[in-house]
Amino acid sequence: MSYAQAGALLARSCGPDINKFCSNVNLGEGKLLACMDGKINQVSAKCKADYATAKASIAERDAAQDSIQEVCSADTARLCPGMVPQDGNLLSCLLQATRVVSDRCNAAITNAGYR
């Protein structure tokens, strides 16, 4: 699930609960997340279920993004010499070499939402 899909799901399922319990909370800096976590036992069953699904999906996506450097290190060294991590060109290199990149690295790139 993409970040946009998670946001849309939460808007549909949790919009009324967010308005009821967290309407005065700013979206940034995890404040809405903290508010929802604190009120989770008071929200509707549908919101509670979809919130858990979206939160788990986003956590998986974040973990995949964090793991790419390690998971793809051999592919990076072999296919993209001289490129440095955190450089958008490195990801472009790995994406262009999809056919010869390891299955594990390709899975990490997909799970991270980069394709």
DSSP labels, 41-108: GGS-HHHHHHHHHHHHHHHHHHHHHHHHHHHTHHHHHHHSTT--TT-HHHHHHHHHTTTTS-HHHHHH
Q: Exposed (0-12), middle (13-18) or buried (19+): which is 75, by Cβ within 10 Å?
A: buried
pLDDT of residue 26: 84
pLDDT of residue 1: 81
Single pTM value for the model: 0.73
pLDDT tens, position by position, 22-68: 999 887 788 988 999 999 999 999 999 999 999 999 899 999 989 98
- Integer CA distances (angstroms), 67 to 90, 97, 111, in order: 14, 19, 10
Gap between the Cα atoms of 55 and 50, Å rounded: 8
Residue-wise pLDDT for 12-31, tens only, equals 999 999 999 999 988 778 89
CA distance 51 to 109: 25
